[in-house]
Homo-oligomer: A and B are copies of this chain.
Amino acid sequence: MKVTAKTISEQLGISIATVDRALNNRKGVSPKTSKKILEKAEELNYIPNKSASFLSRKKQVLIAFVFPEFPEYFWNEIELGIKSAVADFQDYGFYIETIRTKKFDIEEQLETVQEIINSEKYDGLVLSPIDDFPFIDIINKGIERGIPIYTLNTDSPLSKRISYVGADYEDSGKLAGDLLDKFTPNSKKIALITDQINTLEVKKQEVTDAKDSLKQSSRLRSRHSLQIKQKVHGFKEYMRKCNDKKQIYSFEIESNNLIPSIMSLKDELSDMDGIYVASGVLVEVATCLEQMNFNNMPVLLGHDMSEEIHQFFIRGIVTASICQDPVHQGYLSVRKVFNHLMLDIPIEQSRDIVKLEIVTKGNVKYYIHK
C-alpha cells in the first residue's frame, strides 16, 4: 500500500542509492536507468514523504514579513493567518518574523526593507508596499542579490517580485458598483469618496539606485495609491457599462483632516441615495453620517472589517462591506512562499487573487474575532 523509494528499488532490482540519485536528479545515473526509475515512480504513484525529506535535508529557512501597523484590525488578522501557517510548517524548518512599519510612512518602509536585504539574515521577504512605484527599484535590486521577494495585499506589479497574494482591486470596485446598484434599485445619486496618501514621486527611468529613492524624500507628494485608483476605475467602469441611470459624484477628502473634511460635505451628501467609500476611511464617514442624521439615510458601502465597522452594521449606518478574508490571505501568502522555497514548486511571476467577500449585518459575526 505504501510506496517508498525502497519499493521502486526492489521492483526494479536497482539499489536505493541509484533510485535516490535519479529521483533527485543528481549526477551519476545513466539516462536509461534514470528514465526507468522515473517511469516506475510515476507508475506506482510514488510521492516522496515530506516529513522524512525535511528531516533529512535539515534545511532551515527564515522569512521576513514587512507590513504596516494600520489598519490594526486588518493586519492583526493577517498575522493570525501567518501564525496558523507557521504552526503547520515550522516542523519543516520554516520560520517567520514579522516586522511592522508605520502606515503612511513610505520612507520608513523603504529603509526597513533595505535593512532586511542588507542584513542577509533572511532567506526571503514578503512585503506589503504602501505604494507601487517607489518599491520597484529596491525590489529588483533585492531579487538580483538573490533574495526572493513577494508582495502581499498590495502589489508592485512592475517590479520583478516573484508573486503577489491579494485582491484584484479593479474587481473590488466593480463589485461595489454591483452591490450599490442592488441596494438602491430605483435611485439616482451616488457619492464616491476617496482620499490620498503621501508617497514619493518617482519616475521609473530616473531611479537607478535604491538609495536614490531615499534621497528624494523632499519630493513627497500626495496622490491616490494604486489600490484606490484601481477600485475607482473598476467602480466607474461598472457604473458606465451596467447602469447609465445613476449619477456619480466624486469627493476627495483630506487624509490628515478626515472628520472636518467629511463634515464639510454635509450638504452634498444630504440628497445622495448611496455612498461608496473606496479608501480605508469607512469608519470616519460612518461616524459623520450618523451625526448628520438625514431623514433618508443613504446606503453606505465600503471596504474591510473591524470592531467599529461591526458596530455601524448593527446600528444600520453601514449597509455592507467588501472584504478579503485577511486570515486566509495571510495563510495563503505563507503557503505560497513555502511552496516556492521548500518544495521547489516553480513560480514564475504570478498573482494569487483572493476572494472578495460581502459582509452585512447578517453574516458579520463570521468576520469578527473576539
Contact = CB atoms under 8 A, between A and B. Distances in A.
A355 B363 contact: yes
A226 interface: no
A179 B55 contact: no
Contacts of A183: 182-183, 185
A179 B183 CA distance: 9
Contact of A49 (B91, B179, B185, B362): B91
Contacts of A367: 355
Interface string A73-114: 000000000000000101110000000000000000000000
A355 B366 contact: yes
22 contacts: A47-B90, A49-B55, A49-B91, A50-B51, A51-B54, A171-B363, A174-B362, A175-B360, A175-B362, A177-B362, A179-B362, A182-B319, A182-B320, A182-B360, A183-B185, A325-B355, A355-B366, A355-B367, A356-B362, A357-B358, A358-B358, A358-B360
Nearest to A88: B88
Nearest to A50: B91
Contacts of A355: 325, 363, 366-367
Contacts of A319: 182
A260 B356 CA distance: 37
Of listed A49, A177, A325, residue having the most chain B CB within 10 A: A49
Of listed A52, A184, A362, residue having the most chain B CB within 10 A: A362
A361 interface: yes
A69 interface: no
Contacts of A363: 171, 175, 355-358
